Amino acid sequence: MTDAVIEAYGCTLDEAFENSACGLVNTMFDLKRVSPTQEINIQAKGYDIKSLLYDWLEKVLLTLLVDNILISVFKVKIYENINKDNGYFLSGIAKGEYLNPKKHHYKVEIKAITYHEMEVIQEKNKVITRFLLDL
């Protein structure tokens, strides 16, 4: 495998971004094995909704790779036009635990999140995100 396309859904944009992060982490590890005992704050920003999704997913991946925290629960709030740049801002609370190779089953390495094929589709009663992971 060289790529994985992840599609996530939610009733709201916030929920779709939460589920997108779960899809990202679940590609690498089994989320059922994570005990959400540690809480961290993650913030992201973007000039449009796709760049916000990219920054959000990149921050989640960096939390795993740099801080060794495996996150399984996400709660986000997305704000639009909060500054003079008319961009988007995401404030998130994530829960997880430090990565333990004996407890958490490693599936596959994610090299990068890409803009290729990235979509955020806002329909009447649901939001769909789609993004490609370089494995």
Q: What is the pLDDT of residue 105?
A: 86
CATH fold for the domain made of 3-134: Archease, Possible Chaperone; Chain: A; domain 1 (3.55.10)
Q: What span, in angstroms and rounded, lies between the C-alpha atoms of 44 and 58?
A: 9
- 93: three-class secondary structure by DSSP: strand
- Which sequence spans correspond to the domains of the chain? 3-134
Which residues 6+ apart lie within 8 Å of 44 measured at CB?
Answer: 52, 55, 56, 58, 59, 89, 90, 92
For the entire predicted model, the pTM comes to 0.94
- 105: three-class secondary structure by DSSP: coil
pLDDT for 43-87, tens place per residue?
999 999 999 999 999 999 999 999 999 999 999 999 987 666 679
Percent pLDDT > 70 in the chain is: 96
